[in-house]
Structure 1
Amino acid sequence: MYLHVQQLIHDIAQDEPDPAAANALQEGLGGQFGEMRTMMQYLFQSMNFRGDPRSKPYKDLMQGIGTEEISHVELIGTTIARLTDGSPRYQGKQTDPLDAPAAGGATPLANALSEGNIHHYLVGAQGALPVYSAGNPWSGSYVYNSGNLVLDLLYNLMLESTGRLQKCRLYEMTSNATARSTISYLIVRDQAHENAYARALETLGVDWKKTLPIPKTNAERFPEVAALVEKGLQSVNYTFDLTGASEASKILRGPSPSNDGTELSVPRQAPEGGEPIVVAPPRFEEYAPGVDPELLELIAATAELEAAEVENTFEAVAKG
């Protein structure tokens, strides 16, 4: 089972809304090499894992990375929502022309017709969607799970390498600080997962460097990436296992396959996390959650009821 911490895995920088950047980020969310695909692929591989009990560290490695990918879906989806959030009557620069953010235009959703993906406004109420940048839905056919450990690890290494390559391209597409803060974090974490799968292959006697060249992106030239690499985040992995039963650390140790002078490690169960998750403000021009005062009162009452149920549940568990 999974437990959820009410924090994003990484802070999102503040900047102006940018619907075009949001649509580009949809590729990193719902594309063939995006976060929804890595999440589903690794979790299915771990659920379907077969083998000698001594091979459990490989299952645990896939499980831990797959669980982290859930938080990446949350991070990039929240980033997309913030980039689309902000119709003319709410956010933006006061010097923008009529019908631009904060200009008080008469047509609040006018930019939906000319920027980014219209479905962010027409279908998603200024939020992320399970699609890629062309607007087509994410597909479960992306998921690769052969049942053969070496094949799956090779495919996973290729998947992380291609994902990192695409995120470097995304970084070059926008100067928006909101987008770049998330893209940079994912670039570094993709490298961490590359290192993990590479090491796993090495322990199985696979000389992956001769068969699968890793693209040289030189992403460290991006200042946000360099700051995270300086902390060694590209060599750290997590178990996301509250019970301490994961054996992934048996694999994730020794010099990094990136040959950058760092050592692979599993220092703790999960990262410390970033900013708290908050409820986004209503967007009345989207009728989300709507302008009816009675409906808002009902939402508040329901929230209080659910909170009370959760409290009672934890009390019952504590009492045993």
Structure 2
Amino acid sequence: MFAHNKRLQYTVRVTETNPGLANLMLEQFGGPQGELAAACRYFTQALGEDDPGRKDMLMDIATEELSHLEVIGTIVAMLNKGAKGRLAEGVETEAELYRAISGAGNDSHVTQVLYGGGPPLVNSAGVPWTAAYIDTIGEPTADLRSNIAAEARAKIVYERLINLTDDPGVKEALGFLMTREIAHQKSFEKALYSIAPNFPPGKTPGDPRFTSVYFNMSQGDGDTVRGPWNAGDRWQFVSDRDQQAAVDGGSGLPGVQLGAEEDSVVQQMAQRTASVPTGDPLTGAELGMGEDAALNDITRAVKPSTDGAGGTTPPTTPGL
């Protein structure tokens, strides 16, 4: 059960309207790193969570993300307020209105004309919100890591938005939202490390022959720069190309076992579609090039010519 409180979680104060900035703010309203995506991600995870502590945490944060959606949506609406009134009431000439909405920059004219300055569920480029942004897989040790990354990405977007405005009230509200991303990231990380063991994700262990092997597949400049991600006693560093192939000890060549009937049909298909390695068939591309003298001779031989009476004379075949 949800109950709405008409007071915002953080007071929004906008100094002046700015449709262009409003459009950029939509990135955190209907974008992949935005508040709606976060709320839906954590809400659906909470519904499927069996651990009571994590379930409560996920529901708390999901609900708070909805309050953040309200804050960012309110900022969008307030930044569009002046333009919305001018466009709705037509208080200016057509040319003045056109300059007003097109001069705001980016795609703000789209959101003003299509959505009347309201906060639509699109990102700053006008792409509609989609549930494909939700990457929950139903395994806590994987989902919590994804949540940590989602909060980190959202923080970066808020930093960039803060750098785009000099409106002190907008900066303050965005700073609060950015800070809450840090708090959520801490909660998710604490919850992850409260599960022991939590790596690798899931239940099935990896093959010990390969879990600590680092394959140096991209060789060249930079190979000498190594760190704890591929150096030390915990890693077997493999650069030899032969040792990077067929690491299972087999031949490295694919194989499939077929029944007698299937094998017969496959052989029949292979014979029917086999290439002929001999000869050099003339192609339409070669005819169109018109540069090779030998090809030109062949072209003249196979192409009918027009006689003086408007008819055609049959082609001749070289050597006949």
Q: Which residue of 2 aligns with 1:172?
A: 163
Partner of 2:236: none
Contact 1:160-1:193 at 8 Å conserved across structures: yes
How many Å separate the matches in 1 of 2:20 and 2:52?
A: 43
What whole-Å deviation, never above 9, does each CA across 1:179-208 have from its counterpart, x for those lacking one? 323211111111110111011112114589
CA distance in 2, matches of 1:141, 1:188: 26
Aligned counterpart in structure 1 of residue 80 of structure 2, from 81, 84, 102: 84
Is 1:113 the counterpart of 2:109? The answer is: no
Of 161, 178, 182, the residue aligned with 1:187 is 178
Structure 1 residue corresponding to 2:144, chosen from 150, 153, 161: 153
Q: Residues 36 and 69 of structure 2 are in contact (CA less than 8 Å); yes or no, is this contact kept in structure 1?
A: yes
Contact preservation (8 Å) 1:88, 1:109:
no
Establish whether residue 139 from structure 1 lines up as the match of residue 130 from structure 2: yes
Amino acid corresponding to residue 86 of structure 1 in structure 2? G
CA distance in 2, matches of 1:122, 1:178: 26
Match of 2:265 in 1: none
SS at match of 1:160: helix
Question: Which has the higher Rg, Structure 1 or Structure 2?
Answer: 2
Residues paired across the two proteins, number: 192
Aligned mates of 2:194, 2:85 — CA distance in 1: 57
Aligned to 1:62: 58
Q: Is the 8 A contact 2:141 2:199 kept in 1?
A: no
Deviations 1:158-196 (A, max 9, x none): 000110011101111111234323211111111110111
The 1:82–1:88 alpha-carbon spacing in structure 2 relative to 1, beyond 3 Å, is closer
- Match in the other structure for 1:41: 41
Equivalent residue of 1:204, what SS?
Answer: coil
Deviations 1:35-71 (CA, angstroms, capped at 9, x unpaired): 111011001111122x3xxx21011111110011111
- Report SS of the residue matched to 1:118: helix
1:14 aligns with 2:14: yes
Q: Provide Cα deviations, 1:131-173, integer angstroms capped at 9, x if missing partner.
A: 0011110110010221101111110010001100111011111
What amino acid is aligned across from residue 70 of structure 1 in structure 2? Answer: L
Q: Which moved more, 1:196-205 or 1:175-184?
A: 175-184
- Cα distance 1:203–1:12, how it changes in 2: closer, same or farther (>3 A)? same
C-alpha separation in 2, matches of 1:88 and 1:169: 25
CA distance in 2, matches of 1:12, 1:169: 19
Percent identity over the alignment is: 27
Return the alpha-carbon distance in structure 1 between the equivalents of residues 162 and 39 of structure 2.
Answer: 22
- Which amino acid letter does the alignment assign opposite residue 106 of structure 1? T
* C-alpha distance after superposition, 1:2-52 (max 9, x if no partner): 011111111012311011111111111111111111011001111122x3x
Question: Amino acid of the residue matched to residue 22 of structure 1?
Answer: A
Name the counterpart of 1:263: none
Distance 1:84 1:44 in 2: 32
1:75 is aligned to 71
5+ unaligned residues in a row in structure 2: which ranges?
201-320
TM-score norm. by structure 2 comes to 0.56
CA deviations over 1:236-289 (Å, ceiling 9, x no partner): xxxxxxxxxxxxxxxxxxxxxxxxxxxxxxxxxxxxxxxxxxxxxxxxxxxxxx
Alignment-mate amino acid for residue 113 of structure 1? S
User: Normalising by structure 1, what TM-score?
Assistant: 0.56
Task: Say what the alpha-carbon RMSD is for the aligned residues.
Answer: 2.2
Instruction: Say if 1:106 and 1:183 are closer, same or farther in 2 by CA, change over 3 A.
Output: same
Of 173-182 and 21-30, more deviation after overlay is shown by: 173-182
Corresponding residue for residue 242 of structure 2:
none
What code does the residue aligned with 2:83 have? S
Structure 1 residue 88: Cα displacement: 9.1
Structure 1 9/88 Cα, relative in aligned 2: closer, same or farther at 3 Å? closer
Letter in 1 for 2:187: A
CA contact (8 A) 2:77 2:117 kept: yes
Contact 1:88–1:105 (8 Å) recurs in 2: no
Partner of 1:271: none
- One-letter amino acid of the structure 2 residue matched with residue 118 of structure 1: H
